[in-house]
Amino acid sequence: MTTFDELKQKVSIIQVAEDLGYRLKKKDGRTNPCYALYQGGTKVDEILIQHPTDTYTQRFCDRNYHHGDVIEFVKLHIHSWPQFPHHNEMVRISIILKHYAGISYIPKESLNFQEKQEFEPARYDVSEATIENCHFLTRGRQLSPDTVATFLRHIVIIKDKKGKKDIPNIGFPYKVPGTKTVTNYEIRNYNFKSMAAGGDASSSVWGVYSRKVGRIFIFESAIDAMSFYELYKDKQTFQHTALVSTGGGLSGNQITNLIKTYNPQEIVCCFDNDKQGTRYRERVESIVRNWNIREDSNIEVDTILPNDKDFNDDLKKYKIIK
């Protein structure tokens, strides 16, 4: 079991603050750096960081006289992570900190303690995807056979040997950017969606990359990325482009790994057209903004919103109208 002391050694207040949208005030120096949070151009908070290079002794103080370590900072902003619910506040804080530390949280049933679940590639039977066995994509999600064929090398058919039903599903392999090892699967089928048991959701993504990447389009699902491609392939070039899915969540590690590996000129946010999608876009903007300040780079962030909730909904409506 990971203790709070161990988590404090792994997770920085700065890391969490930047993920929430706090922006470094470069002119104030770096000895005790100051970070400001803006909403609609108005500054709503400001924090001062003590001991910025030592996560364990690191402290913050905001303009409302709240102060403390990373645990207190997360507690103060606990409602910023609706994706990590729990009735016990301290357990919820632990889950959030483990997310930033890249540690999976596995709930323990009462009197039935389990060890942390690890990703087991051998648990899954993986076979080649074809147009014929991807009927969920062509019929259920109304992607054209040509589009599916374009992405076929990045899709597999997957069966969970420990699953209750021996049903083949569509699998989208996840990898840490720049590596070749599969660390997770985004799994989809009729009335079913999941990620692989114990899979890495904090650093890995599903991605289709050009040999040289100048722009990265980021989506919440691989199906949205494919739908976007079908809708826009005749309207813009996809040369020097990456299409990426984060699997319905978003972590700072996913974004920084993409930046470190591909050094893009532009990141395009293509998240769902809802409140969570807006939060993800703001988080990407914050991460890139702070990266640009630290690394003296000039990565641009743009947004393309679906008209409906997501790009697959847009594709389905387009085909009805057509």
Q: Phi, psi at residue 233, to the nearest 5°?
A: -65, -25
User: In 3D, which of 149, 282, 277, 257 has the Cα closest to residue 207?
Assistant: 257
User: Tens digit of pLDDT per residue, the chain (322 long)?
Assistant: 678 888 888 899 999 998 888 889 888 777 889 999 887 778 889 999 998 888 888 999 998 889 999 999 999 999 888 888 888 899 899 999 988 887 765 554 433 434 456 899 999 999 999 999 999 999 999 999 999 999 999 999 999 998 877 789 999 999 999 999 999 999 999 988 899 988 998 899 999 999 999 999 999 999 999 999 999 999 888 999 999 999 988 888 899 999 999 999 999 999 999 988 988 898 899 889 888 888 889 999 999 999 999 999 999 998 776 5
pTM of the model: 0.69
Element (H, E) at 184: strand 184-189
Amino acid symbol at 137? L
Whole-number Å distance between alpha carbons of 15 and 119: 26
Whole-number Å distance between alpha carbons of 36 and 79: 19
| Domain at 127-321, CATH from 3.30.70.100, 3.20.20.80, 3.30.930.10, 3.40.1360.10 | 3.40.1360.10
Whole-number Å distance between alpha carbons of 117 and 131: 33
- pLDDT score recorded for residue 107: 54
Determine the length of the chain.
322
- pLDDT score recorded for residue 114: 41
Pairing label, strands 215-219, 241-245: parallel
* Every domain of the chain and the residues it spans: 4-101, 127-321
What is the DSSP code string of 5-27?
HHHHHH--HHHHHHHHT-EE-GG
Whole-number Å distance between alpha carbons of 168 and 182: 18
Tokens representing residue 118 in the block: 């690890």
What is the DSSP code string of 77-113?
TGGG-TTS--SSHHHHHHHHHHHHHT------BTTB-
- pLDDT score recorded for residue 112: 41
Helix (H/G/I), strand (E/B), else coil: 157:
strand
Please, are residues 317 and 230 in contact by the beta-carbon 8 Å criterion?
no
Whole-number Å distance between alpha carbons of 314 and 290: 33
Helix (H/G/I), strand (E/B), else coil: 216:
strand
Strands across the sheet containing 124-128: 124-128, 156-160, 169-174, 184-189, 192-195
Tokens representing residue 234 in the block: 């005749």
Alpha helices (H) in the chain, listed in sequence order? 4-10, 13-20, 70-76, 89-101, 135, 145-151, 222-232, 252-262, 275-295, 311-321
